[in-house]
Structures are given as structure tokens and as C-alpha cells.
Structure 1
Amino acid sequence: MSSSDIFIGETIGTAVLILLGGGVCAAVTLKRSKALNAGWLAITLGWGFAVLTGAYISGGVSGAHLNPAVTIGLAVQGTTPWADVPLYFVSQLFGAMIGAVLVWASYYGHFQAHLTDPEITGATTGQEGMIDKASAPAAGPVLGIFSTGPEIRNTVQNLVTEVIATTVLVLAILTLGLTKGVGVSGIGALLVALVVVGIGLSLGGPTGYAINPVRDLGPRIVHALLPLPNKGGSDWGYAWIPVVGPLLGGLVAGGLYQLAFA
């Protein structure tokens, strides 16, 4: 597999993953969206289909890692050369940022309507109907469209949750090859997508299940850079957890595979 294959496949595949995954979060969150308040089940299914689509697009080009935690797990397993790991990481982060920008472009009018609506921002209006920005709170609820955040902010619990959830994901991916015919049939991507849905339903409640460092970091960077009104901060104090946790989970999954299945 050439360097250009890795870069092109991982960039496009991860961009599609984030476009569809972030897109369902935008659809459920933003005012005047047809899917407003569709709920957690819609989000988990949307992210599962996002993984499925990104994996099918890039699988034949780069192997469809789409996630540094998966790349780490495959490197520990011995499937992916360690020399290729940095290129996978850079390509995935670049793709994630592209995908986040595409979510913003797709929902541009909805972002504007949502973040300037007094009911959302809590701002008051002056005599001419203009929003008094001084009275608006720090943010409308849009950071969750781009990145994850905990419902209960507890550093140890949040980190452990991400490690456990990512370990399940990566171990499932590493063991797919142990079932005869799964990789050849192409059903592997579908099974991984279903695992992602399952993780979201079972383990997504505490932190929003990043389970992928670039899924969180790339869009968080884009959130910080986009000219969104009343967008608030990007919560950089929490941002290391959905990066470090999944990377540790990938290492744990790779180690478990070597101990139990190699």
C-alpha cells in the first residue's frame, strides 16, 4: 500500500465519516431542522451508518482505519507497519477537519438561525429587534455537533469510559479476521458499524463515545476556527480525554489480541 493510497483513502473516508456523523448531530440539534429532537437512537444509528459509508469508500484504498485507535491496534497486532502510523494519523485528522467544515457548510443557515435565536442564546432584544449580545450566554448548544463532552465531568471516569469503549471497538475489529470469510465477503464493515451502534447505545451515555481521537479533535479545531455567532468556547480543558482515552484503548485492544488470540 503506497503513501498516496493511505493519504487519499484515509482523508476521504474520514471526511465522509465526520460529515455523516456530525451531520446527524446537527440534524438533531439545530433549530428548524426536520430532524430536531430526534434523539439518541437517531444519533447512534447515524454514526453507525457514517462508519459503514466511510469504510466502504476507503476500504479498498487504505484499509479504512479512519481512526488512530484502530491504526494503533493494527500496528500492535502487526498488520500495519509502525512506519505508516504517522501518515495514517495525519490523513485521518485532515479528513476529520474537512468533514467538520462540510457539516457547517451543509447546515450553514441552520447554524445562523440557531445561534442568533433569543430562545437558544438567552439574549434579550433591543427596541429595534436587534439581539443584545452582552446579555447572551457564552454558547448555544452546538459544540456537541462537532465534538464530545461528558454529562458528569469526572476526569478518571471519563477517561476510563473512553478506554473501555474503544477497547471494545478495536478488539472487535482485530478479531474479525478470525471468522472465516468475513473479510473476503466485505461484511466486515457492516459488522463494525453495528458494533459502533452498540457502543453508542450501551457506553455512549457518559461521554458521548468519541472512541476516535480525530473524530473529536479535528471537529473541535474547526469549531474553534469557524465564524459562528455566540458559539462559546471549545472546551479545551476536556479535549485531551477523547484523544488519550481512545489511543490507550487501541493499545489495550492490541495487547489483548496478542495475549488471547495471536
Structure 2
Amino acid sequence: MDTSVMTQALGELIGTFILVVLGDGVVAGVSLKRSKAEGAGWIAITLGWGLAVTLGVYASAFLGPAHLNPAVTIGFAVIGKFPWSSVLPFVIAQLIGGFLGGVFVWLQYYPHWAATKDAPAILGVFATGPAIRKPWANFFSEAFGTLILVFGLLTFTRGQWTDGLNPIGVGILITAIGLSLGGTTGYAINPARDLGPRLAHAWLPIANKGTSDWSYSWIPVLGPIVGGIIGAALFTLLP
């Protein structure tokens, strides 16, 4: 593999790791028993995720494009804004980063899993799930949220940003999607953010955990990929 691709993939791993550590970390703080942030609610979670993405991008952008999301990587490749030869290394790195992020959230909150008897809440720290389980509606929610994300990211490339502020714009976009569209499925809008930590949930000896809900897991993977491709394709229609 080309060393420049390896360097960029390392950036994807680091950035996705930070994204998941801070994003899943805020969910753990809000959801787990005897956490000082217990019960802080949806606003705290969406703001925490927006900041997590912002800081993940800042931490990795000096190494590469800081996609931190297979749906973004694939969507950009479909419209020719990213080389297909780099897609697989990026996606693998993003998934590893997501998995490791899940592992370290487990370690950070280690005593709290035993204090929490709610298995679905424990899974919700690591992976998304629907508020109302309707597969077609859940798939649409994930696809539409990711469409907005990828379309928005591409429009940022057409505007004039002060140097260094683009990651803040990305974080604001993520926060807006979470507040406005995320209540249906928990807005994975990122296969690595969901699948990587879900694998960690499945493999780690987490106290009081239940099923990893693999019957739902395809939706936060395929939904964002489809939405990302559509969002990228719509961007190409702009003048």
C-alpha cells in the first residue's frame, strides 16, 4: 500500500477513535447508573456528538481528509472526489477506530456496567437502535440523515471558510441532524460509528449486557451508505 494512503488511513483510525470515545462516552455518561451525568438527556447527547465529530476531525485532518465515516468515503468516491483504490483501507481503518473507541468507553466506565441493570441502555451506549422498530422507516431515517450530512459536507467545499473553521461547521451539521432527525433511530449516519462499537459490545465481557441486536445492525450500515451515495449524487446536479 502507498505510504501516503497508509498515513491517511491512520488519520481515519485516530479520528474515528476519538469520535467514538467522546460520542459513545457522552451516551454512557447520560445512560449508565451512578454516573454524574446520568439523566442529562438528548440535548447533552447531541451536543456531545457534535463536539466529538469536531474534535475527531481536528485531530486527524493533518494526516488526511478526515472522512471518519464509510458513507462519506464511498459517497465521495462515487462522484469522483475520492480514489476508489483508497476506499477499502479507509473503511477498514474507520471500523478499527470505532471498535477501539468502544473498547475504551467500556474501560472508562468500567464500574458502571455492573451498576446498570438495563441491557438495552447498555447496548445504546455502543450502537444505535430505533425508537419504533419499523425497518423501512428506520432505513429511510438513516439514509435521509446521511443524505443531509454528505450533501452538506460537499456544499462546504464550495463555500469560503476561514482556515481552520471547517471542522466546527461539520460539528454544527452533526448537531443539527441529531436534534432534528435523530430521534427516530439515534442517528448512526455512519457505519463505522455503529458497527465498530457494536462488535465491541458483542465481544467484550460487559456486565449486564444483553443481545447486540444483530437483526437491526444492517440498517445503520446500509442506510447511511445508500443515503451518502444519493446525497453525493444530488450535489453533482448543482450548477
**TM-score between the two structures when normalised by the length of structure 1:** 0.88
Could you tell me how far 1:79 is from its partner in structure 2?
A: 2.0
1:112 and 2:114 equivalent?
A: yes
1:232 and 2:234 equivalent?
A: no
Cα–Cα, structure 1 residues 141 and 64, in superposed 2: closer, same or farther, change >3 Å? same
Could you tell me how far 1:140 is from its partner in structure 2?
A: 5.4
Does the CA-based 8 Å contact 1:211-1:242 persist in structure 2? yes
Identity %: 51
The answer for the alignment partner of 2:238 in structure 1 is: 260
Distance 1:174 1:140 in 2: 35
The answer for the alignment partner of 1:85 in structure 2 is: 87
The answer for the alignment partner of 2:132 in structure 1 is: 152
Match of 2:147 among 131, 148, 167: 167
The answer for the alignment partner of 1:143 in structure 2 is: 123
Distance 1:155 1:112 in 2: 32
For structure 1, which segment, 20-29 or 3-12, has the greater mean C-alpha deviation from structure 2 after superposition? 3-12
1:208 and 2:186 equivalent?
A: yes
Distance 1:48 1:229 in 2: 29
Deviations for 1:81-132, whole angstroms, at most 9, x for unmatched residues? 0111011100000000011101011111111222xxxxx35xxxxxxxxxxx
Distance 2:156 2:104 in 1: 32
Task: Trace 1:1-262 onto structure 2 (pairs within 5 A).
Answer: 2-114=4-116, 120=117, 139=119, 141-180=121-160, 182=161, 185-261=163-239
Deviations for 1:179-212, whole angstroms, at most 9, x for unmatched residues? 12x2x61211100100100000000011000000
Cα–Cα, structure 1 residues 165 and 140, in superposed 2: closer, same or farther, change >3 Å? closer
Cα–Cα, structure 1 residues 84 and 140, in superposed 2: closer, same or farther, change >3 Å? closer
Does the CA-based 8 Å contact 2:139-2:220 persist in structure 1? yes
Segments of structure 1 that go 5 or more residues without pairing to the other structure are: 115-119, 122-138
RMSD: 1.2
Does the CA-based 8 Å contact 1:13-1:95 persist in structure 2? yes
Distance 2:152 2:179 in 1: 16
For structure 1, which segment, 1-10 or 17-26, has the greater mean C-alpha deviation from structure 2 after superposition? 1-10
Could you tell me how far 1:254 is from its partner in structure 2?
A: 1.2
Please give the secondary structure, in 2, of the residue aligned with 1:79.
Answer: coil
Amino acid at match of 1:46: G
Could you tell me how far 1:141 is from its partner in structure 2?
A: 2.1
Q: How many residues align?
A: 237
* Rg larger for: 1
Distance 1:185 1:32 in 2: 42
Distance 2:16 2:120 in 1: 27
Distance 1:163 1:260 in 2: 20
Amino acid at match of 1:259: L
The answer for the alignment partner of 1:132 in structure 2 is: none
Amino acid at match of 1:199: I
**TM-score between the two structures when normalised by the length of structure 2:** 0.96
Does the CA-based 8 Å contact 1:77-1:254 persist in structure 2? yes
Could you tell me how far 1:244 is from its partner in structure 2?
A: 0.3
Distance 1:171 1:189 in 2: 15
Does the CA-based 8 Å contact 2:114-2:208 persist in structure 1? no
Amino acid at match of 1:169: L
